[in-house]
């Protein structure tokens, strides 16, 4: 996807900028490549959106709306979008929640063999579609090392096998850091958030697992 990625000195970039979120965002956007930010409007998500859009206000913000979000999450999405003037691109599953539940029933349990297909339908397929349509070379994500064992092994800047440069400016931030940033910049927050593909904290949904 990107001819730039092989030339990046990831070790040097991560050592120099990995703990400076603002500088890392400036560097990544300064590459002059097509960029996106993904969001799920979970707690503290306004931080990554503010960090990136204050440098480039029109950057596409991609939301895979699985149709199972809480009312508070939908209200939060609207509030943040208005406050920051987001260029929000919403990607929905190919079937509505009503259609899916009429045919397949309620959300399958985590140990149900059908759960993998459910995750593919409501999260992974919409994300793959978003990548095809936006064709980014730089992907900003709000993942944090404390989210899961998989993410604890990641670096702030990495390159996917397809050449997509993944930038996680908040990787080393604590909840305290995020709270203080929101307070400083008057950003709203949302703690009434549920991801039906994970079911519990520190469980991966597959979006950030490199194959």
What pLDDT score does 150 carry?
Answer: 76
What pLDDT score does 146 carry?
Answer: 84
What pLDDT score does 135 carry?
Answer: 97
What pLDDT score does 207 carry?
Answer: 57
What pLDDT score does 147 carry?
Answer: 79
Q: Hey, which residues are catalytic here?
A: 205
Q: Do the strands 87-91 and 165-167 form a parallel or antiparallel pair, or are they unpaired? A: unpaired
* Backbone dihedral angles phi then psi of residue 138, each to the nearest 5 degrees: -130, 130
If we measure between CA atoms, which residue out of 137, 113, 116, 135 comes closest to residue 125? Answer: 116
pTM: 0.89
Residue 56 CA neighbour count, 13 Å, CB half = 19
In contact, 146 and 152? CB cutoff 8 Å: yes
- Give the residues across from 159 on adjacent strands: 165
Q: Which domains does the chain have, with CATH numbers?
A: 5-185 (3.40.50.620)
User: Rounded to the nearest 5 degrees, what angle is found at the Cα of 206, between the Cα atoms of 201 and 208?
Assistant: 90
Q: What is the DSSP letter of 60?
A: E
Strand order in the sheet with 157-159: 87-91, 60-64, 35-39, 138-140, 165-167, 157-159
What pLDDT score does 5 carry?
Answer: 56
Look over the chain and give the mean of its residue pLDDT values, rounded to a whole number: 91
SS (H, E, C) 126-166: HHHHHHHHHCCCEEECCCCHHHCHHHHCCCCEEECCCCCEE
Using one digit for the tens of pLDDT, what is the confidence trace for 140-181? 999 998 876 776 788 999 999 999 999 999 999 999 999 999
Using one digit for the tens of pLDDT, what is the confidence trace for 181-207? 999 999 999 999 999 998 655 444 555
What pLDDT score does 201 carry?
Answer: 55
Specify the 3-state DSSP secondary structure of 88. strand
Confidence label for 1 from pLDDT (cuts 50, 70 and 90): very low
pLDDT of 44 strictly over 70: yes
What pLDDT score does 40 carry?
Answer: 96
What pLDDT score does 7 carry?
Answer: 78
């Amino acid at each position: 996807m990107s001819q730039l990625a092989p030339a990046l000195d990831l070790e040097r970039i991560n050592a120099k900028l990995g703990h400076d979120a603002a500088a890392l965002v400036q560097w990544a956007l300064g590459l002059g490549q097509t960029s996106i930010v993904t969001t799920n409007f979970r707690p503290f998500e306004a931080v990554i959106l503010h960090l990136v859009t204050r440098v480039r206000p029109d950057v596409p913000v991609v939301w895979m709306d699985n149709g199972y979000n809480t009312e508070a999450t939908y209200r939060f999405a609207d509030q943040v979008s208005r406050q920051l003037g987001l260029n929000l691109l919403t990607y929905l599953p190919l079937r509505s929640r009503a259609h899916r539940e009429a045919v397949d029933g309620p959300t399958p349990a985590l140990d149900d063999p059908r759960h993998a297909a459910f995750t593919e339908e409501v999260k992974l397929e919409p994300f793959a579609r978003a990548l095809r349509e936006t064709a980014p070379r730089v992907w900003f994500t709000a993942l944090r090392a404390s989210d899961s064992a998989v993410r604890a092994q990641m670096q702030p800047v990495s390159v996917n096998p397809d050449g997509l440069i993944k930038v996680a400016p908040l990787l080393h931030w604590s909840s305290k850091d995020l709270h203080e940033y929101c307070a400083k910049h008057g950003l709203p927050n949302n703690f009434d958030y549920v991801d039906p593909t994970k079911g519990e904290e520190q469980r991966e949904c597959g979006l950030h697992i490199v194959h």
